[in-house]
Structure 1
Amino acid sequence: MIKECPDCHGRGYKVVSTEICPQCKGKGKSKSIDFMKMSEKNLDSILKNGAECGKCKGTGSIEVTTPCKTCNGLGKIYTCKICGARIEKPQDPNQEVCESCANSQYVYALDESCDLKDVEAGKLYHGVVSSKASFGAFVDLNPHVRGLMHSSNIVVPPEVGDSVIVLVKSIKAGGKLDLIPKTIKKYETVEVEKELPLKNSAEIDPSMKGRLLRIEGEVIQVKQTSGPTIFTISDEGGFVPCAAFESAGKRSYPHIDVGMIVSITGEVTLRDDQIQIEVMSMKLLTGEKEAVVKGRVERVIDEKATPADIPFLVKSEIMEKLKPRMLHVAKEIKKAILHSTPIILRHHADADGITSAIAIERAILPLITEIGGMDAEYYFYKRAPSKAPFYELADVTRDISYALEDLSRHGQKMPLIILVDNGSTEEDVPSMRQAKVYGIDMLVIDHHHPDDIVDQYLIGHVNPAHVGGDFGVTAGMLCAEVARMINPNISDTIKHLPAVSAVGDRSEAPEAERYISLVSDRYTLEELKEMALALDYEQFWLKFSSGKGLIDDILDLGDHETHKNLVSLLCEQANTMIQDQLETCLFNVKSQNLANGTIMNVIDVENYAHKFTFPPPGKTSGEVHDVLTKKYPDKPVVTIGYGPDFAVIRSKGVLMNIPKIVRELREEIKGAGVSGGGHLVVGSIKFVEGMRTEVLSRLAEKIGSAEVEY
């Protein structure tokens, strides 16, 4: 290519200095004139103004110049048409290429976004034979550019679908391409892309409808419809759906999948008033290009994911120490949302677990909708209760199964699993190991006594025991504060949830009293207790369902009148059933005094309590324990509700460590299959039915040897 020399600006020389004109001595006038060679007009001008010096043109000075070394005095430079390198003046200006390129053959491959304007005569192109005629064969250089190889130029007739290399001999009127087939053994392919502005999803608006542009980002979802394939692309601005059509119901770009970094060119369109890109070209980015795009997106997402470092709703020394961990978990949740990673929120099926989950849910759903659109909640979020206070194998099996179905059906990523009010104990490990096989990330916000072994499976773990606290700081308190870090706008909506959590888990921590006091202008202590009871009661009947809507009404997150009527009805039903259960159970409680002064009460809830109804064995044992602690107010009391292969423990005034007791029983009683856990003084134990007597006897011995507070 020919360009003006940048050093001499096309003159071919550089001015070194200026000197006085030696011919006119600086006057600019000529001393001698040949009147015979002048016209009448010029003669008249000379008589009036005098004769101009022919050497300096009347300036009185002349420039001292030197030839431009950059262009060798030509005033222009030549660059290689292929690689752009500087070259000497070629003999044929129309074929100027550098020596390196002259020894190579370059064959151009047109991107699908290219049109006729991107084709140059005299160049070689890749093409595919699309059809044949008596006068030749038609070749597609891309879906939008077609030319003809005339039969007079064809030696070996090609077949439809054959890949060929053609020389564009000429571009005729009407955009018709005259092509000549070429056989080349050694060549290098050069990708040709249309020069289009690079935009991110946040910069695209409805006013750009019909414009061509280019976007780069990560594929977060691939959804096959009865028509086009919808690729959802996430970039530094958010996300944008891109529709690619090959034929009805057929997967476009089958080599492009979730998690890949791509470059897309296409036209901005509107579908149901939502922006969509009609794909003209989609390319997988690898190597350096992939790293650049991924790095650019990650930097923006990391900045957007920064949580709000705001004061807690109440004063808490424990939570202040936990704050760095809480901020980390909040950031990981926000990053998952910004990456459009599906979220599964798992919680224990009691008042503390439910309030924990609802706090997080209220924080993240507006962000999920903002990033993913109105139906994003359906695709990117799921909340599910867990019956046990740990992540059971049944739970993880369901979660992985649903995730794999969504991956197959909707082309989604594997989810982030958030465990609240469970996830801290050794009992969670088998499920966590299964999740790890599928590369699933997990976070835990819990207050059960933690085991260090779980941390290797987590990307974040918040537990008051990590900073010297105990179960009195409930999961509901922790989750409400993490939720506010994620989305401060919901602070007023959820600020009563920690109080419901506190009364539901019977917390005696100072934080419990502060959270209850915080909402005392809205709810009495009795109303908070009723909400907690209604949650426990309704979740029992919901079983594995999230109860969305019902749970919101119980927690006064919808219509207030509906909330009052519903909670009143549920508590009436729950209290009736609890009273019926107590009338049966209390008559069958057996009590004995242990060596350390503890009154141990036992009840066979398998044979002396109503089964398959509310309250379940754990709740039944707790209600019995409450009655007995009132009967013996100044005594340490332990209540054990047992069945064929389990025991539920409730304690007051006895300094036990149930997780430690479970480990000791497992080691000491071989063949009993002991497992379980919970809080230090509240928990459950499982064992094989045939070893029940040995396990319960040894458990009683350990309780009798524990220290007491009274």
Structure 2
Amino acid sequence: MGSCIICGVDVDGGGRICDPHQEDVVFDFQGNAPDQLVPDRFYRGVVDGYAEFGVFIDLAPGVTGLLHRSELDRRLDSLDWEPGDEVFVQVKGVRDNGNIDLAWSIRQADREFRGVLVQDGDTEHLPEEDADEGGSDDESAGDDGDESANADDESGAETYAEASDGTGAEAAVGDAGTEVDTTEPAETEEDDGDEPGAETFAEASETADVADESEPDDADEIEGDRERVDIGTLSEAVGDSVRMDGEVVSVRQTGGPTVFEVRDETGVVDVAAFVDPGTRAYPNVEVGDVVRIDGEVESHRGDVQVESEALVLLEGADADAVRRRLAEALTDEARPDGLQPLAGDETVAQLADGLLDAAEAIRRAVLESRPIVVRHPATADGYVAGAAVERAVLPLIRDEHAKSDAEYHYFTRRPLDDPVYGMDAATNDATRMLQDRDRHDEKLPLFLLVGTGSTVESADGIDLLSVYGVDAVVVDAEVADPETREAVDTLVSPEIESIEGDLSTGALVASLASAVNDDVRDDLRHLPAVSYWADTPDRYVDLARDAGYDVERVAELREAIALEAYYQSYQDKRELVADLLFEDGGNLAAHVSEQFREKLETEVATATANVVTEAVDGVEFDVLDTDGYTHRYDFPPTPLLLDDLHRRRANGESHATVGIGTDELYVRTSADVSVRDVAERAAELAPAADVTTAGLREGKIEFLSGERDAVEDAVVAAIAERF
């Protein structure tokens, strides 16, 4: 009988995952028949090819399933998978004829699962185990616990195998905040210097008294003379026994110990408490509780952690004192001293109060160990803005948390295909955050929406987040709708009278990022210039030049980011974007930029040859059938193509470009024309077409495809009326 790598419970048949945790791991399938697959499990696969009705995925040589287009969370023709790409899918079922039905997986990386197993036919084992040994019935409980911890990549039973003092049993917590004594673990023999494993501590815990049988002397023991130390100093105390007070910010149950993430005013550390493999220690200690811990500081896989000897739940005055100390330190540390706009931008300076509020919210989330989720459009401007925040926040997370992978756990950047934060994106976010809360006791995140979320088209998405009391910060260089100002916690957006017309979201957020972390200010100086496609303000051109980026270099970065933003648009591409914007000596950006120009020139030439030009009431219109004369699902995206086409062909202030497809169109005008006003007027002229504004920032209008001709005429007429 094996044990579950997630919770440690016994699994019949020598398996390594219990039924409740089947969906928490991903399997590498090494079988040879479809009927060996287990429905509802997630498997790693390789894209074999496309059909009109879906994607074929190879799960193993000769074992191929179909991911039907109805199972996707997007249109099939917008899926960016290429043959040979590694992907993750869920097996829905296997039919009698051997056909395999697959489902979409929102998780597309190993680290997004709680473990990885190899399924070899009807048996399963850990990747590092020999297949013949995986899941054998004669494995000891100690071995199961050790392997479970390694598979979960958490602080596991290995920690206790490394312990040389044999202290594995813990103190339980009494109802009144006192420690319940657990007796000293039984002495065990070690052969040839071998260290005791998880089994040793499982045996020791059998002699431990964990019931509510505390005596006064037990409480006195943890209240002794041991001096409290700051978590931020633990890296200098490896091997020492310490005491610390703090707040529990997360609880994770691994295949070995229970891991409590605890913070004080100086930092955050993992505290491992062990009873039996996979057994929850201190079950009455929850996220948000204040605790006192005695334990030994250890270095576990390069990360500092504390092995708990005793853990006490603090209440009353003791807990209040810790909370007050944390709150005071949090307030002092979270609020930036002030805002110094990059290039001395006066428009940004007018928004100083809002930017400081936003910076404080971001810094506070880091200090509270709350995840930060950044949403931004998949455009050059959006990526620059998101990367600026990322550059500022990641060092703060690394300073705050001892775990080496904390920056991936506490910061996520999720680009948007559309610049609207709609229900699709919000549902995705709500699903992820609720899973993280329920599965991992994780705090609900702070959502930072940059270049999106400030118009009424995003209202439904923001409302969904607000149902769960989630904090949202919106930063946009465009004027926000009045309704949005009431809907979000913190909104940074120019008032109408303060707009000078030359502020990009990337420029605004770069100054915000410098307020979040002034240490990276020099890294950000070239970003505002990169965020503009045309008419870059001189102040930002000069700032970029001072930072070593001339006009040509800035253009290469802009074009390279735009190209990479399009491909795998829903992925953050963190490392690649960082290489382009901050680490590249020139070769990478220049290479990608060359591809950008080749692809754009080809599409512009095709579009130009097929533009229909007409004059209506003195306004010259270029109308392009984007269904017929663009590659809608290849680079460049329609909005970027129309932007470039309009810049090249506009001659004077009476020019408009309209790109119209099956059920959507985009408007570009040389005059200041409101797309929302155009849509409203077009809806009056074509009442059967259900014309609506789909994206104010990108000039997007949607309609019923059967009324396309009527909508085209109505939109042209509505634009002409407003020149």
TM-score tier by shorter-chain length is: 0.5 to 0.7
1:609 aligns with 2:641: no
2:573 is aligned with 1:547: yes
Q: Which one of 375, 398, 401 corresponds to residue 428 of structure 2? A: 398
- Shift in alpha-carbon separation, 1:208–1:315, aligned structure 2, 3 A: closer
Question: 1:338 pairs with 353, 358, 367, which one?
Answer: 367
SS of match in other structure, 1:606: helix
Gap change, CA 1:591 and 1:364, over 3 Å in 2: same
- In the superposition, relative to structure 1, how do residues 368 and 674 fare at CA in structure 2: closer, same or farther (>3 Å)? same
Query: Would you say the 8 A contact 2:422–2:459 is kept in 1?
Result: no
Alignment pair present for 1:515 and 2:515: no
Structure 1 residue corresponding to 2:463, chosen from 413, 433, 437: 433
Give the superposition deviation at 1:621.
1.5
Name 1:538's counterpart in structure 2: 564
Alignment partner of 2:416 out of 386, 401, 417: 386
Give 1:315's match in structure 2, choosing from 317, 340, 344: 344
* Compared CA separation, residues 602 and 264, structure 1 to 2 (3 A): same
Q: Distance in 2 between matches of 1:649 and 1:598?
A: 14
3-state DSSP of counterpart to 1:454: helix
Q: What is aligned with 1:445?
A: 475
**Distance (Å, rounded) in 1 between the aligned partners of 2:330 and 2:208:** 39
Partner amino acid for 2:323? K
- TM-score normalised to structure 2 length: 0.67
Matched residue, 1:655: 672
2:290 — aligned with what? Answer: 262
- Contact 1:264 / 1:282 at 8 angstroms: preserved in 2? yes
* Preserved contact between residue 386 and residue 392 of structure 1 (Cα < 8 Å): no
CA apart distance, 1:573: 2.1
The 8 Å contact of residues 335 and 360 in structure 2, kept in 1 or not, is answered as yes
Deviations 1:325-379 (A, max 9, x none): 1111111100000111111111111111111111111111000011013221121
Give the distance between the partners of 1:609 and 1:162, measured in 2 at CA: 72
Q: Secondary structure at the match of 1:220?
A: strand
Give the counterpart letter for 1:313 in structure 2: L
How far apart are the structure 1 equivalents of 2:511 and 2:378? 20
Counterpart of 1:491 (choices 488, 502, 521) is 521
**2:178 aligned residue:** 111
Distance change >3 Å, CA 288–CA 656, structure 1 → 2: farther
How far did residue 422 of structure 1 move? 1.3
Question: Given residue 295 of structure 2, which amino acid in structure 1 is its aligned partner?
Answer: E
Q: 1:274 to 1:622 in 2, by over 3 A?
A: closer
- Aligned residues between the structures: 525
| Conserved? CA contact 1:348–1:388, under 8 Å | yes
1:636 alignment partner in structure 2: 654
Pick from 550, 575, 580: which aligns with 1:524? 550
Tell me which amino acid in the other structure corresponds to 1:587: A
After superposition, residues 560-571 of structure 1 pair within 5 angstroms as: 560=585, 564-571=586-593
Tell whether the 8 Å contact from 2:247 to 2:289 is kept in structure 1 after alignment: yes
TM-score after normalising by structure 1: 0.68
* Structure 1 residues 667 and 426: CA distance shift in structure 2, 3 A: farther
Q: 2:717 aligns with which of 685, 701, 704?
A: 701
User: Which residue of 2 is the match for residue 219 of structure 1?
Assistant: 248
What do residues 159-188 of structure 1 show as CA deviations (whole Å, max 9, x unaligned)?
A: xx997899x9xx9xxx9xxxxxxxxxxxxx
2:76 is matched with: none
- Contact 1:219/1:233 (<8 A) preserved: yes
Q: Please tell me the residue identity of whatever aligns with 1:612.
A: Y
2:382 maps to 353
CA drift of 1:274 comes to: 4.8
Deviation at 1:401? 2.5
- Any unmatched runs of 5+ in structure 1? 1-106, 117-141, 147-160, 176-189
Task: State the partner residue of 2:25.
Answer: none
Partners of 1:353 and 1:214 in 2: how far apart? 42
Q: CA deviation at 1:276?
A: 3.1
Hey, what does 2:704 align to over in structure 1?
688
Distance 1:210 1:570, change over 3 A: closer
The partner residue of 1:295 within 299, 312, 324 is: 324
Distance 1:381 1:704, change over 3 A: same
* 1:474 positional shift: 0.6
Paired with 1:304 and 1:143, the residues of 2 have a C-alpha distance of: 45
Larger Rg: 1
Question: One-letter code of the match for 1:657?
Answer: S
Distance apart, 1:549 and its partner CA = 2.4
Q: How far apart are the structure 2 equivalents of 1:609 and 1:309?
A: 48
Aligned counterpart for 2:692 among listed residues 674, 696, 704: 674
Conservation of the 8 A alpha-carbon contact between 2:296 and 2:309: no
Per-residue CA deviation, residues 443-463 of structure 1 (Å, 9 max, x unaligned), is 111123311222333221111
What's the CA shift string for 1:99-138, capped at 9, x where partnerless?
xxxxxxxx9989336699xxxxxxxxxxxxxxxxxxxxxx
**Partner of residue 619 from structure 1, selected from 631, 640, 646:** 640
Counterpart position of 2:583 = 558
CA separation of 1:363/1:667 partners in 2, compared to 1, >3 Å: closer, same or farther? Answer: farther
Which structure is richer in relative contact order (CA contacts within 8 A, separation 6 or more)?
Answer: 2
* 1:45 aligned residue: none
Partner of 1:576: 598
For residue 22 of structure 1, what is the aligned residue in structure 2? none
- State the alpha-carbon separation in 2 of the partners of residues 108 and 491 from structure 1: 50
Partner of 2:441: 411
CA distance in 1, matches of 2:474, 2:579: 26
Distance 1:499 1:388 in 2: 23
Deviations 1:62-99 (A, max 9, x none): xxxxxxxxxxxxxxxxxxxxxxxxxxxxxxxxxxxxxx
Which residue pairs with 1:91 in the alignment?
Answer: none
Q: What does 1:209-248 correspond to in 2, within 5 Å?
A: 209-211=239-241, 213-215=243-245, 217-248=246-277
Inter-partner Cα distance in structure 1 for 2:612 and 2:206: 84
Cα deviations across residues 467-507 of structure 1 (Å, max 9, x unaligned)?
Answer: 621652111111111111111111111110000012x3x35
1:191 positional shift: 10
User: Does the CA contact (< 8 Å) of 2:380 and 2:562 recur in 1?
Assistant: yes
**After superposition, what is the alpha-carbon deviation per residue over 1:176-213, rounded to whole angstroms, capped at 9, x for unaligned?**
xxxxxxxxxxxxxx999634544442355644844352
248 and 497 in structure 1: CA distance in 2 versus 1, 3 angstrom threshold = same
Counterpart CA distance in 2 for 1:453 and 1:288 is 44
Question: What are the superposed Cα offsets for residues 273-310 of structure 1, whole Å, 9 maximum, x if unpaired?
Answer: 65433334444455665544323211111101121424
Residue 589 of structure 1 aligns with an amino acid whose one-letter code is: V
CA 1:589–1:229 in structure 2 vs 1: closer, same or farther (change >3 Å)?
A: same
The amino acid across from 1:591 in the alignment is T
8 Å contact kept, 1:114–1:193: no
Q: In structure 2, do the counterparts of structure 1 residues 291 and 144 end up closer, same or farther at CA, with 3 Å as the change threshold?
A: farther
**TM superposition shift of 1:323:** 0.7
Equivalent-residue separation in structure 1 for 2:561 and 2:701 (angstroms):
24
**How many angstroms does 1:674 deviate by?**
1.1
Contact 1:425 1:450 in 2 (8 A): yes
Residue of structure 1 aligned with 2:613, choices 549, 572, 591:
591
**Contact residue 257 and residue 277 of structure 2 kept, 8 A:** yes
CA distance in 1, matches of 2:539, 2:450: 22
- Give the corresponding residue for 1:69: none
Q: Structure 2, unaligned stretches of length 5 or more?
A: 1-173, 184-204
Root-mean-square deviation over aligned CA pairs: 3.2
Per-residue Cα deviation, 1:504-537 (whole angstroms, up to 9, x for no partner): 3x356xxx22101222252332332222122111
Work out the CA distance in 2 between the residues paired with 1:357 and 1:541: 16
